[in-house]
Amino acid sequence: MKRSHIGIFLSCLLLPFFCSCGEKKVQKKLVINEVLIDNQSNFEDDYGVHSGWIEIFNKAYKSSDLAGCLLKISYQPGDTISYFIPKGDVLTNIKPRQHALFWADGLPRRGTFHTNFILSTTNSNWIGLYDSGGKLLDDIVVPAGILKTNQSYARVSDASDEWEVKDDSEEKYVTPSTNNKTLDSNPKMEKFELHDSMGIGMTITAMSVVFIGLILLYISFKCVGNAAIKLRKKNAMKAHNVTDKKEAKERKFGEAPGDVIAAISMALHEAYGDDHDVEETILTISRVKRSYSPWSSKIYTLRETPHKK
């Protein structure tokens, strides 16, 4: 009975572990970052046309490919339009922390980044991004009437949870294919300059790190060298059948002059390095043939060659 209770107890402990391993969580590396619906004079596509657009952001620190993913939109109940992002375009591979812009112009023949739908300026727009397996990566609802002409509905900063309306103001401006929030200053640097305006603390810290590193290297090399000397002495004593350490010290077992060590090191370097002294034994000497030309021939000279006496 005790064994059965122990087995039940262990199985109860391991059950949550196996359940957690069995769950497959969708990694949301790609998110919808900004949407502009009514584009009259904001940003032009590669054909010089103003159209609504959807910006996707790769929040991961490695590249993510949009090829095979789906962009879906719905602004009427029960009516969903899907756009399959084609494969084979290298531009669908978004680099880390970068953006991709899709034009909602209803003209997919113009390229990979031109969708087969347009955004509604009167109704709410539900936009969803699905991976190639049909799993939802991100979705957003742009409420009706919240955006005016050339205004966008975007995250406060890239991949953040808060959304806001971006207009033409200095603080909140539309940012297609770039960061939603531009940082003009670095708080950490400003704090550092406030506490150490002359840079004395930074200098002391940097020099301390350098010298501590050199000291640690010296100690490590010293320990390795001592260990190698002791091992060499031990092997020499074993080879000469000597057990007395005093006798081994008198006979200088394991000790070698510096020139011997340098010669051994040079020999090892030559053995494991490239052999520059070994060359191919193929002779490449060939007769030089000069092409005949009347311009360089001596028989056509205008002046006779002086006779030697």
Q: How do the domains of the chain map onto residue ranges?
A: 30-182, 200-269
Predicted confidence band at 128 (pLDDT cuts at 50, 70, 90)? very high
Element (H, E) at 57: strand 52-58
Helix or strand run (H / E) with residue 259: helix 258-272
| Cβ proximity of 58 and 95 under 8 Å | yes
Instruction: Give the pLDDT band of residue 299 (cuts 50, 70, 90).
Output: low
Report residue 15 as tokens: 């059950």
Q: Which residues are CB-neighbours of 104 under 8 A, at least 6 positions away?
A: 51, 52, 53, 54, 73, 115, 117, 118, 119
Percent of the chain whose predicted confidence (pLDDT) is above 90: 48
CA distance 215 to 211: 6
The pLDDT-based confidence of 287 (bands split at 50, 70, 90) is low
Q: Is 197 helix (H, G, I), strand (E, B) or coil?
A: coil
Residue 130 contacts by C-beta under 8 Å, 6 or more apart in sequence? 69, 70, 71, 72, 136, 137
Q: What is the pLDDT of residue 196?
A: 81
State in words which class domain 30-182 has: mainly beta
Burial class for 52, CB neighbours closer than 10 Å (0-12, 13-18, 19+): buried
- The dihedral of CA 77, 79, 80, 81: what is its sign? negative
What confidence tens digit (pLDDT) does each residue in 40-98 have? Answer: 998 999 999 999 999 999 999 999 999 999 999 998 777 899 999 999 999 999 999 99
The number of helix segments (H) and strand segments (E) in the chain equals: 5, 11
pLDDT value of position 261: 77
pLDDT value, residue 25:
43
